[in-house]
Amino acid sequence: MKLKTVKKWVSALVSFTLFTSLILMAFVVISTKASGGEPELFGYQLKTVLSGSMEPEFKTGSIIAVKPDGDMTRFTEGDIITFMENEERLVTHRVIDVVYSGDNVMYETKGDSNNAPDSSLVLSENVVAEYTGFTIPYIGYMASFAQSKEGGALMLIVPGIILLIYAGFTIWQGLSQMEKENQSTNNSANIEEVKESV
Catalytic residues: 51
Q: How far apart are CA 5 and CA 154, in angstroms?
A: 34
Number of neighbours of residue 55 by Cβ within 10 angstroms: 14
Beta bridge partners of 75: none
Q: Is the dihedral of CA 171, 173, 174, 178 positive or negative?
A: positive
> Phi, psi at residue 95, to the nearest 5°?
-75, 125
DSSP 68: -
Beta bridge partners of 122: 107
